[in-house]
Amino acid sequence: TTRAGSAGRTLFGCSLFADSQVNRPTLSLSIPRLSSSLVSNPGMLTRFLRGQALIRSSISAAAAAQPQQLLRASTTTTPLQQHFNKFDNKQASFRRMSSEADQIRKGLVGVLADKSAVSTVGRKDVGLTYRGYRIEDLAKECEFEDVLHLLTRGHLPSPAERAALQERLVAGRHLPSEVKTVLEQMPASAHPMDVLRTGCSVLGTLEPEEVDNVKMVKEHEAVIRIGERLMGSFGPMILYWYHFHNSGGLRLDASQYLTPEDSLSQTFLKLLFRSKETPDALHNKVVDSSYILYAEHDFAASTFASRVTTSTMSDVYSCLCTAIGTLRGNLHGGANEAVMHLLEEVPSEAAATDYVNGKLSRREVIMGFGHRIYKNGDPRNAVFKDLSHQLSQKPGGKPNLFAISNHIERMMEEKKGMYANADFYAASAYHQVGIPTYLFTPLFVIARTSGWIAHIVEQRSQNKIIRPSSAYVGPAEQSLPSDFLKSKL
């Protein structure tokens, strides 16, 4: 509060001023009420605490100038003392809350959760590498099976290792009758990611991992073999369900279409189109390259989720089910499907201009752009873009679709300074191959299982349970209302 003839300043309810009539410092105090908004708002709480410190500093200076007038001996507690006595014990707690709030990194942005030797993502002058190999070189020169071996076993395979891996992947195509029964019982309306997650879980009950903490830490071959089994079965699994519900109850017999030499990408395409013919070379290159590009990405949400489950010493199937459920989200694995739905809404470049401008004016998200790590462009995008362009130039290709995609990409760079990520051109590439949109993300699962397995092995080898803390912003400790007290003393 203030009075006529005084000059002062108000600090969080306390006004310190010089009385012009008696020429001594006086304090008029209005104790503020700590509301829940103050406690739950770190910025406001910090300013409050700073104000309290400034009040104390001002009073100390005034007392030093005229101690006799300001600090009179008294047997009673002054309003000022009451104020500080009331809050002194709480301020330490508030300061701790403020300090904790300042340390929060929403989304764990910039937090280094652990060490990893699997991949580099977004490092300056490095880009995306798997075990030290540039992603561009791997996509150009290797097949996915080579990369699978690299990620899970730490080195590129020798011819003998590659042949042995192929045999294991071929054996993994087999679906037990129990799995087929479950796939038939799942409705046609089910999300394909739910189908794969459930199939993974069912297979885990039929072929469980031996849960032995010592072996799980020291012996990793069983984990890798389970991963290979699942990567061999995921394609036949999702396509068995797909054809059963879209081809009049057809029970797909993979052995009718596949040979022991077929790669994982050829397996998927042959079963999708129910063809014994070798897939078109470019179509196969698109699927195989997408497996390589999507195989691994450091501590992405699904990978980190799998490592959290791994850290509890759970079995590998549970770790992978965790990862699949996380990848299902539109902000992670489902992004390429969302991009395709976007492209289906714009029939021309002119329509794309209106679409983008409208989205931006409404501050709506345009899927396929921006990345938490890559601020100057996703290195995988160039590979997907080139493949999409090549497809658009083939007979049966869709040059208009590529042109629309390219137009949207330019607009986003010019208007928002945002760059396309891997999902943007993956959508038009998959579409031109003839893959149904709702099967885009299951392809992601087949690919990323290799990275998940690599991280499960790594987490187990240097395990410590992952258990972060939070900054509590709820109510202070309080007593139960009398109505809830069962015994009244």
More confident position, 1 or 156? 156
User: Which pLDDT belongs to residue 452?
Assistant: 98
Indicate the pTM of the whole model. 0.79
CA 307 vs CA 78, 147, 346, 358: distances in Å: 58, 21, 40, 40
User: Tokens for 155?
Assistant: 């080195």
Amino acid 474 reads G
User: Which pLDDT belongs to residue 21?
Assistant: 42
- Sign of the Cα torsion 480, 482, 484, 489 reads positive
User: Which pLDDT belongs to residue 297?
Assistant: 93
% of the chain residues with pLDDT over 70: 77
- Sequence-separated contacts (24+) of 467-475 with Cβ below 8 Å: 471/97, 471/100, 471/101, 471/103, 471/104, 472/97, 473/39, 473/40, 473/97, 473/101, 475/36
Q: Among 288, 413, 432, which residue's Cα sits nearest to residue 356?
A: 413
User: Which pLDDT belongs to residue 398?
Assistant: 97
- Is residue 423 annotated as part of the catalytic site, yes or no? yes
User: Which pLDDT belongs to residue 19?
Assistant: 41
pLDDT(35) > 50? no
User: Which pLDDT belongs to residue 105?
Assistant: 84
pLDDT(24) > 70? no
CA 354 vs CA 49, 363, 366, 405: distances in Å: 50, 14, 13, 14
Residue among 149, 220, 371, 407 flagged as catalytic = 371
400-420 residue pLDDT tens:
999 999 999 999 999 999 999
CB 229 within 8 A of CB 200: no
Cα 214-220-225 angle, rounded to 5 deg:
130
Q: Among 288, 263, 257, which residue's Cα sits nearest to residue 275?
A: 257
pLDDT(26) > 60? no
Q: How confident is the model at residue 53 (pLDDT cuts 50, 70, 90)?
A: low
Side-chain-side CA neighbours of 167 within 13 Å: the count stands at 6
Backbone φ and ψ of 8, nearest 5°: -160, -175
User: Tokens for 172?
Assistant: 């993994």
**Which residue spans within 64-185 are E strands per DSSP?**
119-123, 127-130, 133-134
User: Tokens for 390?
Assistant: 């090549």
More confident position, 293 or 373? 293
Average pLDDT rounded to a whole number, residues 333-357 = 94
234-260 residue pLDDT tens:
999 999 999 999 999 999 999 999 999
Q: How confident is the model at residue 60 (pLDDT cuts 50, 70, 90)?
A: low
Instruction: Please state the separation of Cα 96 from the chain's center in Å.
Output: 29
Gyration radius (Cα) of the chain, Å: 31
User: Which pLDDT belongs to residue 316?
Assistant: 97
More confident position, 112 or 477? 477
Q: How far apart are CA 22 and CA 115, in angstroms?
A: 68
**Picking from 65-74, 88-97, 234-243, 451-460, which range would have the lowest pLDDT averaged per residue?**
65-74
Domains of the chain in sequence order: 7-99 (no CATH), 131-461 (1.10.580.10)
User: Which pLDDT belongs to residue 214?
Assistant: 67
When the pLDDT of each residue in the chain is averaged and rounded to a whole number, the result is: 85
Burial (0-12, 13-18, 19+ Cβ within 10 Å), 231: buried
Backbone φ and ψ of 148, nearest 5°: -55, -50
User: Which pLDDT belongs to residue 371?
Assistant: 76
Residue with tokens 């079995």: 315
256-311 residue pLDDT tens:
999 999 999 999 999 999 999 999 999 999 999 999 999 999 999 999 999 999 99
pLDDT(23) > 50? no
Residue among 19, 114, 332, 386 flagged as catalytic = 332
User: Which pLDDT belongs to residue 162?
Assistant: 99
Q: How confident is the model at residue 74 (pLDDT cuts 50, 70, 90)?
A: very low
Q: Among 293, 318, 286, which residue's Cα sits nearest to residue 200?
A: 318
User: Which pLDDT belongs to residue 29?
Assistant: 41
User: Which pLDDT belongs to residue 333?
Assistant: 86
pLDDT(115) > 60? yes
pLDDT(197) > 60? yes
More confident position, 17 or 346? 346
Q: How far apart are CA 245 and CA 252, in angstroms?
A: 11
Q: How confident is the model at residue 48 (pLDDT cuts 50, 70, 90)?
A: low
Most confident of 4-18, 19-33, 430-444: 430-444
Average pLDDT rounded to a whole number, residues 143-167 = 99
Residue among 407, 423, 431, 455 flagged as catalytic = 423
**Which residues, including other chains, have CB under 8 Å from residue 191's CB and lie 6 or more apart?**
328, 438
- Sign of the Cα torsion 202, 331, 115, 117 reads positive
Q: How confident is the model at residue 198 (pLDDT cuts 50, 70, 90)?
A: very high
- Is residue 280 annotated as part of the catalytic site, yes or no? no
- Is residue 297 annotated as part of the catalytic site, yes or no? no
More confident position, 412 or 86? 412
Average pLDDT rounded to a whole number, residues 65-72 = 47
User: Which pLDDT belongs to residue 157?
Assistant: 99
CB 1 within 8 A of CB 11: no
Amino acid 122 reads G
